[in-house]
Amino acid sequence: MADPSPPTEAADIMTVVHEAVGGIELEPAEKRDIWRFTRRELPYLSSQRTSYFILGSYRDPHLRRLRAVQNELTKQLGSYPFIMGDLLELPAERLNTFDIMFSLLATYSDYIVGVFEKESGGEAPELGEIDDSPYFAKSYVFPRDYAWVTDANLESKRHVIQAALEIAFSDDLSGDEVQSQIESLVDRTRDTDLDIDEQAIWDVIDDRTGEGEEPATYSWVHLNKFRKFELHERCFPWTTEDELRSAVNELPSPTPRPEWEESRER
């Protein structure tokens, strides 16, 4: 098999790669592996379809939620949603290949979509990558059970549900105490404009109990990064998989082309 030749945009690609590896000199075989990867994967990102780079945990059941997002985006004509784990891998020898692949895919994708359910794992450093330049402007986050303000403020239905989940999964409360505190929580919402159905709250709790999944918890660093996206109206919290699927509709549609791409072409 003939060695892959450099693509037409080789100079731009190598700029991204050199930054990802910290400027070290690449060996000829490493360059060939990179050309092979870029010739295989990057054409999909530069096609007429709008690409969505989906980030998140590959462990079950979290991977199922990534697939749910991918499936929802696939329904849109002209979209190309993908997960890095499905693509051709660079040989894992001397180089930090994950950083190279991530940087190339994030640079040439139209949008980046992060789905978060916990504060540990590979998705944690990914959040640190996309919350700043050059990726922030085209990134969107979907954190499970996220709420910025304290639950005492109860500013929205999701804040009430988050507070109820924390009560329900508390190790310090008996079943009767959980029941009493959630009823009290719902009573407090009656003094606000929120339309909260107590049974709907219990349905969410029952679903999470049946799945054996406790509420997602995040460090203060994670919460601050989510808040940054929230201030830019690119943070979409969710509790159930159905809510996540619905929230995908908040992402930019495949057309028109994103503003960041137009500015790059100029």
* CATH number of residue 105's parent domain: 3.40.50.450
Q: Are residues 18 and 93 in the same domain?
A: yes
Residue 239: per-residue pLDDT: 86
pLDDT: is 65 or 262 the higher one?
65
- Spell out the alpha helix ranges (H) of the chain: 10-20, 28-45, 62-74, 97-108, 123-130, 157-168, 175-189, 198-211, 220-231, 241-247, 259-265
Tell me the β-bridge partners of 112: 53, 139
Domain match, 91 and 66 both? yes
Number of structural domains the chain divides into? 2
**pLDDT at res. 4:** 67
207 and 221, same domain (yes or no): no
pTM of the model as a whole: 0.78
More confident residue, 15 or 208: 15
* Boundaries of domain holding 173: 151-211
Q: Are residues 158 and 221 in the same domain?
A: no
* pLDDT attached to residue 259: 63
pLDDT score, position 260: 58
Q: What is the pLDDT of residue 151?
A: 45
- In terms of domains, do 34 and 116 share one? yes
Mean pLDDT within 187-195:
71
Neighbours of 17 (CB within 10 A): 21
Mean pLDDT of 222-231: 90
3-state secondary structure at position 140: strand
Match 């999701």 to its residue by tokens. 158
pLDDT at 99 > cutoff 50:
yes
List Cα–Cα distances, 119 to 106, 115, 215, in angstroms: 21, 11, 12
